[in-house]
Amino acid sequence: MEAPSLLTLVIAAFITALGCFTDITRRTIMLLSIQAIAIGSATLARCLIDLVIGLNIEALIHFFAAFAEWFSAAVVAPLILYWGVTKTENIADKPLIEARKLATLIISISILYILWILQSQMLREGRIITLSFCILMFSFSTLLMITRRDAFKILAGLNMAENSLFPLLAEIPITLVPFILTLMIFVTAMGTYVIIEAYRDHGTILVDRWRWLKE
Amino acid sequence: MEVAERIMYSLLPLLTLIVPLFTGILCLFTCLFKFLEEFSRKTAKMLLLISAVLSLATPLAMIPYCVIGEVLETTGLGLRADSSNIAALVSTAILFLLVSIYNMSAEKGGRLKPGVYNFFLLLFLCCMFGLLLSYDLFGIFLFVEMVIGVSIILVAHNPIKDSTEAAFKYLIITAISALFVLIGVLTIYVLTGESNILHLLGNIEKRMILAENPPLLMFIVACFIVGLGADIGLAPFHGWLPDTLPASTIIINGFTAIEPIPLILALYRLVAPLYEIYPSSIIVALMLGTGLVSIIFGALMAYSQRDFFRMFAYCSIDEYGHSLFALSLLSPSDSQIFIIGQFYLINSTLAKTGLILSLGSVYFNTGGSNMDFLGGLLEKMNKTALSYIVCALSIIGIPPMSGFYAKLLLINASYKFFYDYGNSIIASLIIALLICIAVISCVILIRSFHKIFLGKSRVNIDVKGDVPILMWLPTILLAMATIIIGVHPDLLIRFIGYTRFG
């Protein structure tokens, strides 16, 4: 595996972990955008170099596909969420787990993954190392989702989980890229729509208050 | 001439998707322009019904070819209609049509405009068809995600406070689960470079890549079970299901009752080829375990419910468990399991749709779903009561309903499987468990019938008569279908065939 790709994956995993500690909704969305930029930058840079060296249509198509992935994850999805926050509220809430415990949990998960990568025979191949990083980021994103009460932070966590699979999505047939991207944007837009409607009904975006108000 | 005819027929699977999608887009257009708004409002229900009829035409047109063993394949898109999915396609289309008839009188409007509502319903049908027809891993993932996405919007359509909360819960659980499916799909694709299931199984080199890496193969199977298990509503990934049923409109409950047919068959289509590549007992254990947990959990949880929608949700988990259990009795030599599993799944969905529509009718007339406050509706809602009890008896497995034959086949296959791969004690214990669960289901459903339709209501409910004809007719038709299939199971079984993967 190339060093720049590995470095971007490490940075992206670190940003995802950082997302678990943010308190303001807008900051979580900003981290989502930065995570997507970090994940996509290596692929995008590789495609750009291919385009400059090769100067052929195939390289151009690949560059556009990578750019579309990067743009939708780093710009479109965060913008949809940001728009949702402007329509509702930008709140500050702390994670349900104490920060120190959360940090211990994240470090433990990271150590377990590193051990897994080093131990396992099947993970010698570069592509599979990418897979294990994807799973690591996916775990952090899931942690972010389950430790939050703010609906937009949960949705941002979901987007981070989706972004964590982007290194693998680079391998899919080019014809499928538009469908996958549309689907991911559709899920974000749908989630934002549901939260805005819920905010209209309940007057808050804290999910536990939805249940509490009902009871 | 023959070549042209062949090309035409190969386009039928694609046409099956295009018809509901195109009519759905037409419905969407009617609400985009202001001058068409009034027209859209007045004709929306009729347009949906016409679209449902048109959408049924293509699966019906494919029956003669699929029954004689022909394969209609739209190459390049991985869409394929054959004897293994034609019964499910036709059942899905018929059930959609019946719920559309029910919709004519039951729909009272909600958050979505009529045209948009119709568009999403028809998109939902298109995606269910796609899921049944697709043999491409990415195609299956896309259709799964779309089916779930559209269901979430339809749940949020109900203009009550609970719907948004339920929709959000549904969204988060199923969106995470969809990512598990994507991880599984991507892992296969990254390793083999192939996304078509049939091509993958036809290529020995690619099969070997997966077969030589059993831990990764198990990881992929686990991803598929967790991912699709949550989308279906199998225990322990069912968190969203008991909340979404009471929060959705009665019609959406009818439409989403059809969803398990494509979703459970998609899970089978993803896992069975992996079992064929590497016939490990762990794969069977994972599938059977999920099925058994759902059966036991669903039946036990349904017992304590007072809200009939929640009771139905847990009964559904129990039934999904049964269907998965039947399809999980994987054996390299026995092709009958797929036929039995699919027969069980279609029957169960048929009866469950009848049951939920009957419960919807009760809710429509009384405005409540708490069984403690209901009672004595038999006299005034006799047709609804009749359809409810017939569908309930079918789910329990009482002859001559179709559920009896389905349960008999399931018990027979289970005994044979556990006897062959275990011993007679394990086989007997499994049969005893299945019978016990059937008894619990019997108690739950008969008690619910008693509480809703017999005795006297604790509060004064003003019910003037049964629901309109367009609401009771589909439920009666579904009840009749369970009896007809129960008397002549051959009517359905002969349409279900088995296509060996690879």
d(CA A21, CA A15): 10
Contacts of A73 (CB under 8 A, 6+ apart): A36, A39, A40, A159, A162, A163, A166, A184
Q: How far does chain B reach from its first CA to its final CA, in angstroms?
A: 30
B296-307 pLDDT, tens digit each: 999 999 999 999
Q: Mean per-residue pLDDT for B165-193? A: 90
pLDDT at B333: 60
Interface check for A143 against chain B (CB to CB < 8 A): the answer is no
Is A198 near chain B, with CB under 8 Å? yes
- Cα separation, B304 vs B311, in Å, equals 8
Query: How many of the other CB atoms lie within 10 Å of CB of A49?
Result: 12
Q: What is the pLDDT of residue B284?
A: 93
Return the pLDDT at B464: 80
- Helices in B328-466 by DSSP H: which ranges? 336-366, 382-396, 402-421, 424-453
Tell whether the model's pLDDT for residue B500 goes beyond 60.
no
- A162's tokens: 């989706």
Other Cβ atoms less than 10 A from the Cβ of B386: the count is 17
Nearest neighbour of A187 by CB, restricted to B161, B162, B175: B175
Closest CA to A29 of A148, A133, A126: A148
Residues A22-50 have pLDDT tens digits of: 889 999 999 999 999 988 887 788 788 87
**How high is the pLDDT of residue B462?**
77
**pLDDT band of B502, cuts 50, 70, 90:** very low
Q: What is the mean pLDDT of residues A78-86?
A: 94
User: Which residue carries 């509702």 as its tokens?
Assistant: A88
Token output for B382: 């006799």
Closest CA to B474 of B363, B361, B375: B361
- What is the pLDDT, as a whole number, of residue B109? 85
Percentage of chain B lying above the pLDDT 70 cut: 98
* Whole-number Å distance between alpha carbons of B250 and B360: 5
pLDDT computed for residue A199 by the predictor: 92
Q: How far is CA B3 from the centre of its chain?
A: 36
> How many C-beta neighbours within 10 Å does residue B76 have?
10
Domain encompassing residue A192: 3-214
Structure confidence at residue A125 (pLDDT): 59
Q: Poorest-confidence range of A90-94, B37-41, B387-391, B396-400?
A: B37-41
Helical ranges in A55-176 per DSSP H: 57-71, 77-87, 99-119, 126-146, 151-163, 166-169
Neighbours of B284 (CB within 10 A): 18
Q: Do B161 and A201 touch (CB under 8 A)?
A: yes
Amino acid letter, residue B316? S
**Can you tell me which residue has the tokens 């919807």?**
B360
A135-145 tens-digit pLDDT? 888 889 988 98
Tell whether B500 is covered by a domain: no
Mean pLDDT of chain B: 91
Q: Which amino acid does the sequence have at B42?
A: K
Neighbours of A157 (CB within 10 A): 27
- Please state the pTM of the whole predicted model: 0.92
A169–B186 CB contact, under 8 Å: yes
Q: Looking at the partner chain, which of A138, A165, A194 has a beta carbon nearest the beta carbon of B171?
A: A194
- Indicate whether B34 pLDDT > 90: no
pLDDT reported for residue A1: 61
Question: What is the Cβ-side half-sphere exposure of residue B90, based on CA atoms within 13 angstroms?
Answer: 21
Chain B window 139-198: which residues touch A at a Cβ cutoff of 8 Å? 142, 145-146, 149, 152-153, 156, 161-162, 164-165, 167-168, 171-172, 175-176, 179, 182-183, 186-187, 189-190, 195
pLDDT at A124: 54
Q: How many domains does chain B have?
A: 1
Facing residue for A190 by CB, picked from B149, B161, B187: B149
pLDDT in tens, B301-354: 999 999 999 999 999 999 999 999 999 987 766 678 889 999 999 999 999 999
CA nearest neighbour of B247 among B308, B309, B304: B309
Q: Give the Å distances, CA to CA, from B79 to B75, B93, B144.
A: 7, 17, 15
- pLDDT tens-place string over residues A108-167: 888 888 777 776 655 555 566 777 788 888 889 988 988 888 999 999 999 999 888 888
Domain extent at residue B68: 2-493
pLDDT tens by residue, B349-380: 999 999 999 999 999 999 889 998 888 888 88
Tell whether A138 is within 8 A of chain B (Cβ).
yes
Quote the pLDDT of residue A215: 47
Going A119 to A124 to A128 to A131, the CA torsion angle's sign is: positive
CA B119 – CA A74 distance, rounded (Å):
30
> What pLDDT does B184 receive?
92
Longest dimension (CA), chain A: 64
- A115 vs B: CB within 8 A: no
Cβ–Cβ pairs < 8 A, chains A and B:
95
Best of B172, B173, B237 to disrupt the A interface by mutation (most A CBs within 10 Å)? B172
- Give the chain A residue whose CA is nearest to the CA of B139: A176
The ipTM estimated for the assembled molecules is: 0.86
Contacts of A186 in chain B (CB under 8 A): 149
- The answer, for A107 touching chain B at a CB cutoff of 8 Å, is no
Arithmetic mean of pLDDT, B232-244: 91
pLDDT band, very low/low/confident/very high, at B224 (cuts 50, 70, 90):
very high
Give me the mean pLDDT over the B180-204 stretch.
89
Angle at B390 between CA B347 and CA B236, to 5 degrees: 50
Interface residue B136 vs chain A (CB under 8 A): no
Higher pLDDT, A103 or B5: A103
Condensed to tens digits (0 to 9), the pLDDT of residues B53-75 reads 999 999 999 998 888 888 898 88
**A3-27 residue pLDDT tens:** 777 788 888 889 999 988 888 999 9
> Which letter does DSSP use for residue B455 in this model?
S
Q: Which residues of B touch A161 (CB under 8 A)?
A: 176, 179
Q: For residues B445, B447, B450 and B451, what is the CA-based torsion angle, rounded to 10 degrees? A: -110
Span B274-290, pLDDT tens digits: 999 999 899 999 999 99
A67-76, B198-207, B453-462: the lowest-pLDDT one: B453-462
Going B95 to B355 to B405 to B231, the CA torsion angle's sign is: positive
How many structural domains comprise chain A? 1
